[in-house]
Structure 1
Amino acid sequence: MSTERKALLLGESWTTHMIHQKGFDSFTTTEYVEGGQEFTSALQGAGWRVTHLPAHAIETGFPATEEELAAYDLVVVSDVGANTFLLSRAVFGRSASEPNKLARIRDYVLGGGGLLMVGGYLSFSGIDAKANYGPSPLGDILPVEVLRTDDRAEHPEGAPVRVPAPEHEALGGVGAEWPPLLGYNRTRPRPGGEVLAWVNDDPLVAVGTAGKGRVGVFTSDMSPHWAPPPFMEWSGYDPLWRALASWAAGA
């Protein structure tokens, strides 16, 4: 019997369309990027199988049935807003009805699945509050309260991390000295949740339960720009993600 753990990473991709103006003339360039490679590598190094579903593929590639979703030990939502799950072309363009993907993730967790939300410009509330997870089906099961305004905290000078519970199994024994971060999503602690690490005076890592499942959050990036090179190269990077993923999955 296989003991391989499976994670579904949702998001962590973007397309940049640029206009270059040079005097009278202009031209455009377009670049598509997929992030999260370091996170994926960290989990794969501990025996996980990671399936990455980029933001644009969520509409058609999201597990079609409860059984397909339940095949994963962990769902990771990173830097992709609630609208991507809620507004497919069928719903937005043809006013057709279809199952609510975020409600299905919530039900998956309540039934015993694991969920990890990672920060970014389109996580939690996000830039201009466009991520909008607070009123979504995931809002009430997170171990932190999502704000209803733009929640970004930008700290180009570096925001210090404080770890009051370094011994918690979800932190992987990485200690209390963490590299500073360049930003994060502001949230509020929620009763029933446990904050394991703080950035300035806001939650950075928090964990909790929902129904039969477990939920964790990391409110900064898993990759640049909020996670600068010293954090990405930190010896605690891989152990932290492995431990947080394993805790959320109940493994």
Structure 2
Amino acid sequence: MARVLLIGESWFVHSIHQKGFDSFTTSEYTLGGAEFVAALQAHGHEVTHVPAHEVPTRVPTTIELLQSIADVVVISDVGANTFQLPPQTFSASIAEVDRTEVLRAFTERGGGLLMVGGYMTFSGIDAKARWGRTPLAEALPVTLLDRDDRVELPSGMLPRVAAAHPITRGLDAEWPALLGLNEVKLKETAVGLATCAGHPLLAVGLYRAGRAAAFTSDLAPHWAPPAFLTWSGYGTLFDRTIRWLAGEELP
């Protein structure tokens, strides 16, 4: 089974509570993606989770170090700025390794890469995720838009399997509805495995010696509602995706 490095899926929330004349603030930290991690672990994968705020200290700056800890890297709901603007560069103007280039080279040399959708992946809300302006964009099986790419589906839309592939084998039955995704365009060399609301939902492709995939909706709330997280195909879908990205030839 694969060694998986999940990067992102964490956030801080600062709230202002107004009560008449007075107000006060509260802060909350959430480490998300528990269902995704549990599903992969249940299928035998080894998962290491690096929260978004720990990227500058825990994501390797060399291909060799990255290869020593991961077969597949999953980037979920964390923007490119977090990888390209570590404190040394942003605050002290000290040159640092571009971790988006390390991730691209890791994939080029045989690693697996999965980008999962959210407000801070692909182009993201207000185009703030910025992944299309990084070296890593070359490795993805999809082309990113240079604008806010959210497709909000508040009424819910059912995904559809679009191509026969070992990853989606047996998953042709109705998938639970999703509440949104990031709009992308398939590259000519990619294979679109599933769609939602007429947009690519799951795409895979080869990148030199490596493999890459894009799942353009969430792996957790809010775009992935509870019914999707408890769907019997959830673990199977992501287990097969990880195994394929790690180079396993699926039956």
TM-score by length of 2: 0.96
For structure 2, list consecutive stretches of 5 or more residues without a partner in the other structure.
none
| 3-state secondary structure, aligned to 1:56 | helix
1:18 aligned partner: 15
Task: State the shift of 1:218 in Å.
Answer: 0.4
Identity %: 51
1:74 aligned partner: 72
Match for 2:201 among 201, 204, 207? 204
Query: Do 1:143 and 1:190's aligned partners in 2 also have CA atoms closer than 8 Å?
Result: yes
For residues 140-177 of structure 1, what are the alpha-carbon distances to aligned partners after superposition, in whole Å with 9 as ceiling and x for unaligned?
A: 21111111100011111002212122x41122532242
Q: Does residue 32 in structure 1 map to residue 29 in structure 2?
A: yes
1:118 aligned partner: 116
Amino acid corresponding to residue 56 of structure 1 in structure 2? H
Amino acid corresponding to residue 138 of structure 2 in structure 1? D
Question: How far, CA to CA, are the matches of 1:65 and 1:188 in structure 2?
Answer: 30
| 3-state secondary structure, aligned to 2:227 | helix
Question: How far, CA to CA, are the matches of 1:229 and 1:41 in structure 2?
Answer: 15
1:221 aligned partner: 218
For residues 8-66 of structure 1, what are the alpha-carbon distances to aligned partners after superposition, in whole Å with 9 as ceiling and x for unaligned?
A: 00000000000000000001010000111111111111111100000000011112432
Q: Does residue 175 in structure 1 map to residue 205 in structure 2?
A: no
| 3-state secondary structure, aligned to 1:40 | helix
| 3-state secondary structure, aligned to 1:196 | strand
For residues 153-210 of structure 1, what are the alpha-carbon distances to aligned partners after superposition, in whole Å with 9 as ceiling and x for unaligned?
A: 1111002212122x41122532242111000001111110110000111100000011
2:159 aligned partner: 161
2:127 aligned partner: 129
Aligned ranges 1:30-69 → 2 under 5 Å: 30-69=27-66
RMSD between aligned residues: 1.0
| 3-state secondary structure, aligned to 1:98 | coil
For structure 1, list consecutive stretches of 5 or more residues without a partner in the other structure.
none
2:190 aligned partner: 193
Aligned residues: 247
2:86 aligned partner: 88
Q: 1:138 to 1:132 in 2, by over 3 A?
A: same
